[in-house]
Amino acid sequence: MGKVSAVAKLEVKPGKADAFPAAFDDMFKHIAAHEDGTEHYVLHRSTKDPNVFYMTEIYADQAALDAHASSDAMASLGASLGDFITNVDLDFCVPVKSAKSDL
């Protein structure tokens, strides 16, 4: 089975956007130390709307995504995001082409 990816649009409550990225600090540390199958995990902030963020993720395979999704770090992150998020639009994808890595 090939790589899998996720793309999420995260809408943040007014007044919370500047503090929002710090909510991911522990997750980023966890991924760096424990998730070899997580190849790309990037939080982006919209230049059109400062209360909108995007998360792009690429995993080596479905097992790596499953390990990420079921980790204690993800459970902790999810519990903390209620203070920030008003809406999430999440889509799971299959990456098909990249300029800088093999898919």
Confidence at residue 100, expressed as pLDDT on a 0 to 100 scale: 87
b/e sequence 32-65, b meaning 16+ C-beta within 10 Å: eeebebbbebebebeeeeebbbebebbbbeeebb
Which amino acid, one-letter code, is at 15? G
Distance between CA atoms of 72 and 69, rounded to whole angstroms?
Answer: 9
The predicted pLDDT at position 91 comes to: 98
Tens-digit pLDDT profile for the chain (103 aa)?
699 999 999 999 999 999 999 999 999 999 999 999 999 999 999 999 999 999 999 999 999 999 999 999 999 999 999 999 999 999 999 999 999 888 8
Is residue 53 a contact partner of residue 45, using CB atoms and an 8 Å limit?
A: yes
Q: Which fold has domain 4-93?
A: Alpha-Beta Plaits (3.30.70)
Q: Where are the domains of the chain?
A: 4-93
pTM given for the model: 0.94
Cα–Cα distance measured from residue 45 to residue 55, given in angstroms and rounded to the nearest whole number:
9
